[in-house]
Structure 1
Amino acid sequence: MCEAILDHISKDSHRKLSCQMDSNFRIQNRVADPTNSVVSGRMLGQYVMNGGEGPNSYAQNSSYQGGVVEVAKPIIEEEISKKLDVKHHSSTFMIADFGCSTGHNSFAAMESITKAIKKKFETDGQTSRFRIFRCSSTTKSPMISTLFSVHSHPKDFTMPPEFQEVADDTSPTWNRAKIHCFGARREVLEAYSNQYAKDVEAFLDSRAEELVGGGLMALIVPAVPAFWNPNTAYTTLTEFDILGSCLMDLAEKGRFSKAKVDSFNLPIHYTVPQEFKAILERSVNYTLERMEILDNPGKRTLPGPKDRASFFRAAFEQLLTNHFGSEIIDELFQQYAKKIAASPLFLDPENEKSIMIFVLLKRKPYDHK
């Protein structure tokens, strides 16, 4: 749900590669043609946020994500100052943001990172030429599609074959009447967790081919605590459950069949810190330089039911439309807002316990094996 931000700090001036990463680490790798602003590549899975500037757009409903970007800025600046080696670099220093979605939160983040790197160069008495790349998950914003030479085209999301069993009524992992693994059977939880690990590992392997030795990669990863009290707190997973109940309500009204809900599963896994750290530590290509939980002030920008409904709609409307059709979207999120309003738990943003994990990785030297 939350825009995952990747700041890939590289010093290889001979190669350009971009990818789109969302909070589920569904990956789309693309090698850029330097003579063409359209990027070709192989789709491994993607869904896009609402583009444009309208009331239901991601641009107008991403203050939650913007909050965590602001919190992460001083940490990234500190780590660049301490750990980025600028003494051995080529004539061009490259910076890439692979998680900018429709882009607005990314501008401030990339500006801060660029300033921190320039300051590092000045401190060390070095100079360099900079190139900045961004990967947008929609081309509806003309500013994004023309300002940068690397971008992606929105396509339909395709589940990996091994994960499709959660929608197969003959499989033990069938996720009947639910749209996510929260509160589901152990087999469903394991299917989500296993696919997430595969996606993260594939992502890390791909980035390891791009980063030079000593290059830094910063990740902000949506997550949940290992434990929380559902009677006094909620997380994004709680809201997934409510969204699923709204879809079942519409099925009861005959808007579509219950089988339609049974065959839909949100392709998103909210990890816990222990799980994510274990995945990182299995990688032979990086050292884990820093990992910590961030307090996200952005949650206080969603005080009311309509705010939360707009926030969810901006993130998931395209995915829901692809499966259920556009004609049910208004009714679905009206129902969602009503259910949120009916629970006093959601009226206090401080009850929201979802977390963001900040991670800084350093690429090991290529001869380390």
Structure 2
Amino acid sequence: MLDEAIAEKLVIEKFSSTPNTFCIAAVGCSVGPNTFITKQNILEAMGRKYESKALASKLPEFQVFFNDHATNAFNTLFTTFPPKKCYFAAGVTGSFHSRLFPKSSLHIVHASYALHWLSKMPEEVQDKDSPTWNKGRIYYTRASGELANAYAAQFSKDMDNFLNFRATEIVVGGMILLVMTVIQDGLHRSQSAGGFLYDELGSSLMDMEHEALISEALINTFILHVYTTTMNEIARLVERNGCFNIERMKLTDPILNVEGPVDVQMCTMHIRAAVEGVLTKHFGSEIIDEIFTHFYQKAAKYPLIESKYKKRNLLFLALKRN
């Protein structure tokens, strides 16, 4: 899908008057092999694009910016670069919910499994007297409609800011390529695979509270800054913003969309990779192993994830700068 979007929708002739450097930003990049694999796929697609236009001799140099918060393990990232990378690399710290790059300096922005993280939680979520108070839970999937609406409102603000900042940084005709977790339109928020797993994580924390391993007060002040949008919702937000045109939008299979038993160890590792940082910041590093031991034991009681959790829930989205 990424290859097709670049091949069919990116008009490289628009960039002929710019300096001979093609700039790509990977925002919210984290660390790990997938960070590099996707960038290599983009670069290979760009090479084929230039060849298809008989412009191989004019192939530009590539600059890739890896962005994440300053707490990201950039040393790990930089020491694991592929030995034969065909691009210049640089690290850029800061939130992708803010301005990161000079005006009209980027050609492609890529974000994978990043935009579901909210910039912050709405203030009312921390108010014990508010209908959005989520006592005893760390996620909103089974909470009140008021809390879900607060999440949705914050996501709307964050998405608008993200698009506005990227519109400033990307040249006209440049693209944003996104992979996002979504829930299919028409399903209740509690029926998403992520919601199911995060609910089990919250339940694990409450079990530990009953065992006097974690205080209830500490759990009640923790809530995940994660929101799962729908395909229709994200389309409305992009269209309302007006800075980008939707060139490609397609649902694809999630990692949990498999037949038969789910690998519980894999699920545990997946969730740990996603939220260990925020859990450590709130509960401390000493308790982390115990949290995921409890989670594994609880998730192991569900050898099959019900079919309603195995819907297609990954969205590929290609946007072009107007």
- Same fold by TM-score, threshold 0.5 exceeded? yes
Instruction: Give SS of 1:268's match.
Output: coil
Q: Does 2:145 match 1:195?
A: no
8 A Cα contact 2:64 2:90, kept in partner: no
Q: Does 2:214 match 1:256?
A: yes
Extract structure 1 runs of 4+ deviating beyond 6 A. Answer: none
**Over the residues paired in the alignment, what is the CA RMSD in angstroms?**
2.9
Deviations 1:40-95 (A, max 9, x none): xxxxxxxxxxxxxxxxxxxxxxxxxxxxxxxxxxx121121112111132222212
**Judging changes above 3 Å, is the alpha-carbon distance between structure 1 residues 263 and 159 closer, same or farther for their aligned structure 2 residues?**
farther
8 A Cα contact 2:183 2:189, kept in partner: no
C-alpha distance in 1 between matches for 2:149 and 2:212: 32
Deviations 1:130-179 (A, max 9, x none): 2222224522544526963223389xx9974x613212212221111111
Query: Which of the residues 274, 285, 288 maps onto 1:315?
Result: 274
C-alpha distance in 2 between matches for 1:355 and 1:361: 19
Q: Does 2:66 match 1:134?
A: yes
Q: CA deviation at 1:227?
A: 4.2
C-alpha distance in 2 between matches for 1:174 and 1:229: 20
8 A Cα contact 2:262 2:303, kept in partner: no
Deviations 1:235-281 (A, max 9, x none): 11011111111111111222232121111100000111121111111
Q: Does 2:243 match 1:285?
A: yes
Instruction: Give SS of 2:315's match.
Output: strand
Where does 1:23-172 land on structure 2 (aligned, <5 Å)? 75-89=1-15, 90=18, 91-126=20-55, 127=58, 128-137=60-69, 138-139=72-73, 141-144=75-78, 148-152=89-93, 160=120, 163-172=122-131
8 A Cα contact 1:300 1:350, kept in partner: no
8 A Cα contact 1:291 1:359, kept in partner: yes
C-alpha distance in 1 between matches for 2:239 and 2:304: 37
Q: Which residue of 2 aligns with 1:240?
A: 198
Larger RCO: Structure 1 or Structure 2 (Cα < 8 Å, ≥ 6 residues apart)?
Answer: 1
C-alpha distance in 2 between matches for 1:187 and 1:351: 24
C-alpha distance in 1 between matches for 2:317 and 2:119: 27
- Tell me the matched-pair count: 285
**Judging changes above 3 Å, is the alpha-carbon distance between structure 1 residues 153 and 199 closer, same or farther for their aligned structure 2 residues?**
closer
What amino acid is aligned across from residue 150 of structure 1 in structure 2? G
What amino acid is aligned across from residue 64 of structure 2 in structure 1? I
What amino acid is aligned across from residue 166 of structure 1 in structure 2? V
Query: Which of the residues 159, 166, 169 maps onto 1:207?
Result: 166
Q: CA deviation at 1:206?
A: 0.6
What amino acid is aligned across from residue 211 of structure 1 in structure 2? I
8 A Cα contact 1:145 1:151, kept in partner: no
Where does 1:340-359 land on structure 2 (aligned, <5 Å)? 340-346=299-305, 352-353=310-311, 355-359=313-317
